[in-house]
């Protein structure tokens, strides 16, 4: 397949912060960018050549994308997979609508992960009220998760008894769910792989992630785990990309268990919050990789240039009257980089930006990053 070169037009479904950072990467590399997003103030639109302000399933907007873009990608998985399949009839689309559809549904996703020979937590697929009338003890205590449209901790309920699980299922309106056994975790890590073909794959250094209220808080790179375990996570991410015949950037989140074994938690068919450290600390960042993959270019090298810590900035950091946080301390730190997403309104739990701190060791970077966050 011929490579797509600048100044070709690239399209992206979704104009949030991931779309914004994609647009910056694409524009820097000499491409033009069309963003499809119904929000007039979409963060990515500030950097796009064209903003199609329309719903993601708008036939006219999708037709414009297909006719004007050499290739199209997405910034989030809850986009219409059928729309992506339709686009693929006339233009290059990555990842495929089929891969996005797998990532949209936890039941399908987990069965694919297992089919690829990789372990998940024990789980029960619940697609009807009959499915939850079975013996539930193998999955308890557990987390009941909606099969579709759940991210950043949304659509999840912790349950410790069969009665709680059945009540939670009823409260979720009887929609398809997964009851997943809670495992004793040592920590959580992620590996982000870029795949163009079987012969063209690159994987980023593994990030160690900590969450707060279901939302990523801090990523530490390199992850503070044994090198062999990190290599294993990278290998598993590549195996999964291969099994899916995936084209693009794929994030794979893992649980590290008490015995140092790895279990796949979930996948995201796009650049990932835990990969934002690559913007300052890697030879190629995850958004450049997204551009390269969709254009059929060899993935860039992923060498880590320095230990780094990424800290998410949620709307909670903003003042109650809407005033900005105290940026001067962060601006004065010569080894820290602030990235703000251009969102008009700060709300608790809303991702507004992040900052990266580079230092001689991951522990030093973490100590400084935490101190900086406390000053905001």
Which of 136, 156, 181 marks a domain boundary? 181
Q: Are residues 57 and 127 in the same domain?
A: no
Question: What tens digit of pLDDT does each residue of 158-176 get?
Answer: 999 999 999 999 998 889 9
What pLDDT sits at residue 80?
Answer: 85
> With contact defined as beta carbons under 8 Å apart, do 343 and 352 qualify?
yes
Q: Are residues 198 and 303 in the same domain?
A: yes
Name residue, tokens 């809303």: 350
Q: What is the CATH number of the domain that holds 88?
A: 3.40.50.20
Binding residue per annotation — 211? yes
Q: Are strands 200-203 and 207-212 parallel, antiparallel or unpaired?
A: unpaired
Q: What is the CATH number of the domain that holds 193?
A: 3.30.470.20
Q: Are residues 48 and 135 in the same domain?
A: no
Three-state secondary-structure class, residue 372: helix
Binding residue per annotation — 310? no
Binding residue per annotation — 183? yes
Binding residue per annotation — 296? no
Binding residue per annotation — 188? yes
Binding residue per annotation — 123? no
Using CA atoms, how far residue 305 sits from 22, 99, 358, in Å, is: 21, 31, 9
Binding residue per annotation — 373? no
Q: Is residue 2 part of a domain?
A: no
Q: Are residues 229 and 171 in the same domain?
A: no
What pLDDT sits at residue 42?
Answer: 97
pLDDT band at 214 (very low <50, low <70, confident <90, very high): confident
Q: Are residues 250 and 356 in the same domain?
A: yes
What pLDDT sits at residue 153?
Answer: 64
Binding residue per annotation — 200? no
Q: Are residues 350 and 262 in the same domain?
A: yes
Binding residue per annotation — 37? no
Q: Are residues 147 and 278 in the same domain?
A: no
Binding residue per annotation — 153? yes
Binding residue per annotation — 150? yes
Q: What integer is the mean pLDDT of 126-136?
A: 93
What residues contact 152, with CB distance under 8 A and at least 6 apart? Answer: 214, 215, 216, 349
What is the extent of the structural domain holding 359?
A: 185-374
Of all residues in the chain, what percent carry a pLDDT higher than 90?
A: 93
Comparing 322 with 232, the larger pLDDT belongs to 232
Of all residues in the chain, what percent carry a pLDDT higher than 70?
A: 99
What pLDDT sits at residue 151?
Answer: 64
pLDDT band at 22 (very low <50, low <70, confident <90, very high): very high
> With contact defined as beta carbons under 8 Å apart, do 203 and 194 qualify?
yes
Q: Are residues 189 and 236 in the same domain?
A: yes
Tokens of 231: 């290599």
Q: What integer is the mean pLDDT of 24-37?
A: 98
Question: What tens digit of pLDDT does each residue of 97-114 get?
Answer: 999 999 999 999 999 999
pLDDT band at 79 (very low <50, low <70, confident <90, very high): confident
pLDDT band at 150 (very low <50, low <70, confident <90, very high): low
Q: What integer is the mean pLDDT of 38-64?
A: 96
What pLDDT sits at residue 88?
Answer: 96
What pLDDT sits at residue 322?
Answer: 80
Q: What is the CATH number of the domain that holds 168?
A: 3.30.1490.20
Structural element, H or E, at residue 137:
none
Q: What is the dihedral of CA 307, 311, 312, 314, to 10 degrees?
A: -170
Phi, psi (degrees; rounded to nearest 5) at 275: -105, 5
Q: How many domains does the chain have?
A: 3
Q: What integer is the mean pLDDT of 79-106?
A: 94
> With contact defined as beta carbons under 8 Å apart, do 139 and 120 qualify?
no
Question: What tens digit of pLDDT does each residue of 240-283 get?
Answer: 999 999 999 999 999 999 999 999 999 999 999 999 999 999 99
Binding residue per annotation — 265? yes
CA distance 172 to 191: 31
Q: Is residue 109 part of a domain?
A: no
State the chain's mean pLDDT as an integer: 95
Q: Is residue 262 part of a domain?
A: yes
Binding residue per annotation — 52? no
């Amino acid at each position: 397949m011929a490579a797509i070169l600048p100044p070709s037009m690239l399209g992206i479904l979704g104009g949030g912060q991931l779309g914004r950072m994609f647009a910056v990467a694409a524009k820097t590399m000499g491409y033009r960018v069309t963003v499809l997003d119904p929000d007039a103030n979409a963060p990515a639109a500030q950097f796009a050549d064209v903003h199609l302000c329309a719903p993601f399933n708008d036939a006219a907007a999708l037709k414009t994308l297909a006719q004007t873009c050499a290739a199209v990608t997405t910034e989030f998985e809850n986009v219409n997979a059928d729309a992506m399949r339709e686009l693929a009839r006339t233009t290059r689309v990555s990842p495929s609508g089929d891969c996005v559809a797998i990532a949209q549904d936890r039941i399908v996703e987990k069965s694919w992960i297992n089919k690829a020979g990789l372990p998940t937590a024990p789980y029960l697929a619940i697609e009807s009220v009959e499915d939850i009338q079975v013996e539930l003890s193998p999955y308890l205590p557990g987390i009941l998760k909606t099969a579709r449209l759940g991210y950043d901790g949304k659509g999840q309920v912790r349950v410790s008894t069969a009665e709680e699980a059945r009540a939670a299922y009823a409260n979720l309106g009887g929609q398809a769910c997964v009851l997943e056994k809670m495992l004793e975790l040592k920590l959580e890590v992620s590996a982000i792989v870029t795949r163009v073909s079987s012969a063209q794959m690159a994987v980023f250094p593994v990030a160690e992630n900590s969450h707060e209220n279901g939302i990523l808080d801090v990523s530490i790179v390199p992850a503070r785990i044994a090198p062999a375990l990190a290599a294993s996570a990278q290998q598993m991410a590549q195996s999964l990309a291969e099994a899916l015949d995936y084209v693009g950037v794929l994030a794979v989140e893992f649980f590290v268990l008490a015995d140092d074994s790895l279990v796949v938690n979930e996948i995201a068919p796009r650049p990932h919050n835990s990969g934002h450290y690559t913007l300052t600390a890697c030879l190629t960042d995850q958004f450049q990789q997204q551009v390269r993959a969709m254009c059929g270019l060899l993935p860039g090298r992923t060498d880590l240039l320095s230990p780094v810590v990424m800290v998410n900035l949620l709307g909670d950091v903003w003042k109650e009257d809407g005033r900005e946080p105290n940026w001067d301390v962060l601006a004065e730190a010569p080894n820290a980089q602030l990235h703000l997403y251009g969102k008009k309104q700060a709300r608790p739990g809303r991702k507004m930006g992040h900052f990266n701190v580079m230092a001689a060791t991951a522990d030093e970077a973490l100590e400084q990053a935490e101190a900086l966050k406390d000053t905001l």
